[in-house]
């Protein structure tokens, strides 16, 4: 059993980590451009490093070299306005990674895609003229979902969604988090002069998708018997643990924007 002192120490560690990292992330998000693209690239590299450590048991694997090279190309192509080519490079990198990994090809290839697709989404979204607003919306939706899912689940309880993978997550939490995400999106739309109903509808889908991403990461960690993806962020686990919901939500949001008007941010915001 953990002592009260240990709990306070863990909380203090989490707070200090957040205080150190938050200004860096917020500054990169605000300025966009190269600073944000570099931060997104670094996050993707670390995600792949964590993935190979869990799934392949070797963070020094040649798979990482192939994957990191792929991510570097993907980041550059997306930053300079060629996300379609970046997507092709992602698939090619995943295939080569799978060949190198041999019998573990499924985990190797999926790891490259798991890191590359959110990277394309983040850089594409923020690189759009309305990218800052789009990123604020997506991050706000994911945060609202996570925060209110936690409190709704704790206060209401009820049936679990997938207890074998995530024993604490309940249907009440999912519903509460999704409602909160829709309310946030509607308020954001009012404040930023966008149409509330389409953004609230998108929020409903993105909230569910972000929770699915959370479950997927939990399933991978359970499959390989680890609690956290790594200990890179003291008190918080790994980078994967921090963006497990944000990454999939950003991918879906960018896809919606591209399909709607050919621009990830404008297509997400303007209806």
Q: Which of 7-11, 145-149, 159-163 has the lowest mean pLDDT?
A: 7-11
Indicate whether 195 pLDDT > 50. Answer: yes
Residue 132 has pLDDT above 90, yes or no: yes
Question: Which of 261 and 166 is assigned the larger pLDDT?
Answer: 261
Closest residue by Cα to residue 83 from 271, 265, 269, 242:
265
Does residue 147 carry a pLDDT above 70? yes
pTM attached to this predicted model: 0.91
- Spatial distance between the Cα atoms of 44 and 116, rounded to a whole number of angstroms: 7
Q: C-alpha angle 270/197/183, rounded to 5°? A: 110
Q: Per-residue pLDDT tens for 156-176?
A: 888 888 888 887 888 999 999
% of residues, the chain, pLDDT over 90: 66
Which pLDDT band, with edges at 50, 70 and 90, does 1 fall under? very low
Confidence band for 75, pLDDT divided at 50, 70 and 90: very high
Q: What is the chain's Cα-based Rg?
A: 19
Maximal C-alpha separation, the chain: 55
Consecutive H or E run containing 43: helix 33-55
The pLDDT value given to residue 9: 63
| Orientation of helix 4-31 relative to helix 33-55, angle to 10° | 140
In the predicted model, what is the mean pLDDT of residues 47-60? 84
If you average pLDDT over residues 69-74, what whole number do you get?
Answer: 97
For the ranges 63-72, 99-108, 109-118, 183-192, the lowest mean pLDDT is seen at 99-108
In the predicted structure, residue 124 carries a pLDDT above the cut 80: yes
Torsion of CA 82, 132, 149, 215, to 10 degrees: 20
Instruction: State the pLDDT at residue 157.
Output: 81
Between 25 and 15, name the one with better pLDDT. Answer: 25
pLDDT band at 11 (very low <50, low <70, confident <90, very high): low
Task: Return the structure tokens found at 177.
Answer: 């988090």
């Amino acid at each position: 059993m953990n002592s009260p002192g240990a709990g306070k120490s863990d909380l203090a560690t989490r707070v200090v980590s957040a205080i150190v990292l938050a200004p860096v992330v917020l500054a990169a998000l605000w300025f966009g451009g190269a600073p944000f693209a570099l931060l997104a690239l670094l996050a993707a590299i670390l995600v792949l490093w964590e993935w190979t450590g869990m799934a392949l048991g070797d963070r020094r694997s040649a798979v990482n070299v192939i994957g990191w090279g792929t991510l570097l190309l993907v980041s550059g192509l997306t930053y300079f306005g060629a996300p379609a080519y970046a997507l092709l490079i992602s698939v090619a990198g995943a295939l080569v990674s799978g060949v190198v990994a041999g019998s573990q090809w499924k985990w190797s290839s999926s790891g490259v895609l798991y890191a590359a697709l959110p990277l394309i989404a983040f850089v594409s979204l923020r690189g759009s003229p309305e990218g800052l607003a789009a990123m604020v919306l997506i991050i706000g939706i994911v945060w609202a979902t996570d925060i209110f899912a936690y409190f709704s689940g704790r206060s209401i309880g009820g049936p679990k969604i997938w207890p074998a993978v995530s024993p604490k997550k309940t249907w009440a939490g999912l519903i509460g988090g999704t409602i909160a995400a829709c309310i946030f999106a509607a308020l954001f739309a009012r404040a930023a002069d966008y149409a509330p109903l389409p953004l609230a509808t998108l929020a409903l889908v993105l909230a569910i998708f972000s929770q699915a991403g959370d479950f997927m990461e939990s399933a991978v960690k359970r499959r390989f018997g680890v609690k956290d993806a790594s200990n890179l962020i003291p008190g918080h686990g790994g980078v994967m643990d921090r963006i497990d919901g944000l990454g999939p939500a950003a991918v879906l949001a960018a896809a919606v924007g591209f399909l709607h008007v050919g621009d990830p941010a404008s297509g997400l915001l303007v209806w």
